[in-house]
Amino acid sequence: MPSKSEPIIIVGAGAFGLSLAHELAANRGYTDVTVLDRHLPPVPDGSSVDVSRVIRSEYADPLYASLGREAIEKWASPEWSEHYHEAGFLIFANGQGHPYFDACLQAAAGRKLFSGDQIDADINQLYPTVNAMTAGKVAMDSPQGGWAHAKNAIAGLAERASQAGVTFITGSRGKVVELLQEGNKVQGVRTAGGATLSAPTVVLATGAWTNRFMPKLEHNLSATGQVLGFIQLTPEEVQRYKDVPVMINLSTGVFTFPPTPDTHQIKIARHGYGYQSSMRASDDRAISSPRDSLTKYIPREAAEALQHGIAEFYPEFAGRPWCNTRLCWYMDTPDGDFLADYHPDIEGLFFATGGSGHAFKFLPVLGRHVADCFERKAHPDLQKKWKFHTVTERPRTLVMGSDGSRGGPPLRKLSDAEQAKL
């Protein structure tokens, strides 16, 4: 564990990097914490951006369910409540026997199963404006849940981190291009601006870009592009649907939000196995990583799946054109567990990544638990779950994102022609 007066460099200003930086500086007495990124947070091509992220505590895994309940309490507190909308969370599956649905239902004591001829009546009793297609489905409700405004929450956390003494460096001076080592010990980083920043401890909170900095991590981490789209509503339509909950179909992975109050848009996305993009690293390795670009491109079959989801959750908006689409880049792990641990062979290198598409909901408490791992005092169960796995511990044959929560088609690598559009 580093001295509290020694410099600590955190690469990445997303949910992991910001929450750890704030926790270290504001609550644990570290006096020299620097966050580097290409952009000021909220980082425009990061995964913790745009308007809405699901807030829930329904998990098949008891540890994440407990963390979810802890986070929801914080989201409702004065420090975070301006970003949180407790709209409820409605979970569907296509028919009975979905393993993850059943596990969530069993883990969440007291939840009612909606099914059969009464499903519409039961749902409308709770949410009168829901007009989803429910034939053949089962459902369960989570009244303590909803969504948070991701962009605003990240901006607020960055401001609090700055007030706590965290230094931010962005632009070419904050774009890290190389991790500096001497033997098996970290020395610092080199940036695109040519500067060398020295520190005995470096944290890679670099999300889907992590494989650019470290070789041979593909058994732990893989970048996947997940599709999302937005449709525009009129003020009258927003008023009609303002009280619907967040909804997901676990069988397809497609989920959607209520209309966003300020933009009057509905966001729809898919928590699936996603799409993979690759690039050449400096040593000519092909690595799993997104490009440094922002485009509206999504594969055609993905757009069709999202349109089907709109027709399922909001039938009257079926066929309405997109006002925006994009790929949101996850950093996936095989089991959906985060990576918050030191590299076993490189002294001073700590990872805080692997959000696997579900880390943002824990933002108010994430920094505390990652900092416990950073200081090597986390609960043994958490240390075990978020540990760095060696190749022998975790064969590369494991399928990324195989925690059971994903839906839709299997992972597909984008063609060269598709990657050229990114």
Number of C-alpha atoms within 13 angstroms, CB side, residue 362?
A: 23
Give the C-alpha separation, 266 to 216, whole Å: 39
Dihedrals φ, ψ of 246, to 5°?
-65, 140
Residue 143: pLDDT band (50, 70, 90) is: confident
Give the C-alpha separation, 271 to 269, whole Å: 7
Instruction: Determine contact, residues 319/309, Cβ cutoff 8 Å.
Output: no
Q: What is the pLDDT of residues 1-48, one digit of tens each?
A: 789 999 999 999 999 999 999 999 999 999 999 999 999 999 998 888
Tokens at 55, concatenated: 């807030």
Give the C-alpha separation, 267 to 51, whole Å: 9
DSSP H helical segments within 58-113, as ranges? 62-75, 99-107
Give the C-alpha separation, 409 to 136, whole Å: 20
| Closest C-alpha among 28, 37, 30 to residue 10 | 37
What are the structural domains, with CATH classification, of the chain?
A: 8-385 (3.50.50.60)
Sheet holding 176-182, edge to edge: 176-182, 185-191, 196-198
Residues with Cβ within 8 Å of 321's Cβ and at least 6 positions away in sequence, in order, are: 231
- Across the chain, mean pLDDT equals 94
Q: What is the pLDDT of residues 339-385, one digit of tens each?
A: 999 999 999 999 999 999 999 999 999 999 999 999 999 999 999 99
State the Cα angle at 358 between 356 and 359, rounded to 5°.
90
Instruction: Determine contact, residues 413/278, Cβ cutoff 8 Å.
Output: yes
Dihedrals φ, ψ of 123, to 5°?
-65, -45
Bridge-based pairing of strands 286-288 and 324-332 is: unpaired
Q: Is the pTM of this model over 0.75?
A: yes
